[in-house]
Amino acid sequence: MTGRTTHGQPSEYARPETIEQTAALVSAAGGTGIAVQVDHLVADQVKALVDRIRAEQGCLDVLVNNIWGGETLKEWNKPVWDHDLQNGLRLLTLAVNTHLITAHHALPRMIERPGGLLVEVTDGTVAYNATHYRINPFYDLAKVSVARIAWAHAQDLAPHGATAVCITPGWLRSEMMLEAFGVGEANWRDATARMPHFAISETPRFVGRAVAALAADPDRARWNGQSLSSGGLAKVYGFTDLDGSRPDAWRYVEEVQDAGKPADTTGYR
């Protein structure tokens, strides 16, 4: 588990969650979580991380590029001339450069033996983002770019027996989202009084289970280069969110929310 925020040393993102806490969640779920502080814009730090993984673990089988950190930089519904330029450019740097730097150093290790899996995480499927304007030009470009990065890597990885995909969660009940609505995971449904469509939301564990299902699939190469979603993969692999449901958020967003219909998750969870 890598990131910039560690105990006693927060990043510019100013979130209280730490990489140590995330690693502890991995261990509590039955894995072995190892926290390593890395700024993925610093190539030497990324190289040192990959070298350590190879030395300690012997190989690198799965890489999940879920690097962001730009949530506080975006401005809602602002054309490029009204959006703060430096914040917008920083947002793109955090969203795109980090993924490329990490791939540059990590993918050579992942193709040392066949079967590797690269998962690029973004917001929105390729189909949805192609026809919907996402907040502002900087954010829009960031989300489209990560999906395209996954497609490009898929072309390079296929000859080595590796697979690259892009995956998006639905309306994610992250710590930041729950905080914005003034609720916690235990009472998240209270937020639907303020935002009815929040009823389709999902826990971070749901997209995690999607990645786990992909990694466990011996036929995962069939997905190479594709844009996937947690809800879509749940239908294929049969996993559920923590409450036993299978929220199909992106289909709901297009067919219900964007269509101006009243919130109703019937047939979508």
Residue recorded with tokens 């995962």:
220
For the chain, how many helices (H) and strands (E)?
Answer: 10, 6
Note whether residue 263 is domain-resident: no
Residue ranges making up the domain that contains 183: 2-257
pLDDT at position 224 is: 98
How many domains would you assign to the chain?
1
For residue 231, what pLDDT band results from cuts at 50, 70 and 90? Answer: very high
Long-range contacts of 246-252 (CB under 8 A, 24+ apart): 247/170, 247/200, 247/201, 247/202, 247/206, 248/170, 248/200, 249/169, 249/170, 249/171, 249/200, 249/201, 249/202, 250/124, 250/125, 250/128, 250/168, 250/170, 252/170, 252/197, 252/200
> How confident is the model at residue 233, as a pLDDT?
98
Spell out where 47-173 has E strands.
62-65, 117-121, 163-168
129 closest CA partner among 108, 107, 151, 113: 151
Asked if residue 245 belongs to a domain, the reply is: yes
* Domain-located, residue 209: yes
pTM of the model: 0.95
Residue 12's pLDDT band (cuts 50, 70, 90): confident
pLDDT of residue 76: 95
Sequence-ordered list of residues with C-beta below 8 angstroms from that of 180, at least 6 positions apart, any chain: none
Q: Tell me the DSSP string of 184-235.
A: -GGGGGGGGGT-GGGGG-B-HHHHHHHHHHHHH-TTGGGGTT-EEEHHHHHH
Task: Give the pLDDT score at 46.
Answer: 98
Q: In this model, does residue 250 exceed pLDDT 90?
A: yes
Q: Is residue 268 part of a domain?
A: no
* DSSP-assigned letter for residue 169: -
Q: What is the DSSP letter of 4?
A: S
Give tens-digit pLDDT for 141-200: 999 999 999 999 999 999 999 999 999 999 999 999 999 999 999 999 999 999 999 999
The chain-wide mean pLDDT, for the chain, equals 96
Taking residues 104-133, report their average pLDDT. Answer: 96
81 located within any domain: yes
Q: Would residue 266 count as lying in a domain?
A: no
Residue 148 lies in a domain: yes
Hey, which residues does 64 pair with through a beta bridge?
A: 119
Would you state the pLDDT for residue 14? 84
Predicted pLDDT of residue 10? 87
Q: Is the pLDDT of residue 13 over 90?
A: no
Q: Domain holding 23: CATH number?
A: 3.40.50.720
Does 269 reside within a domain?
no
Mean pLDDT of 192-221: 97
CA distance 246 to 238: 9
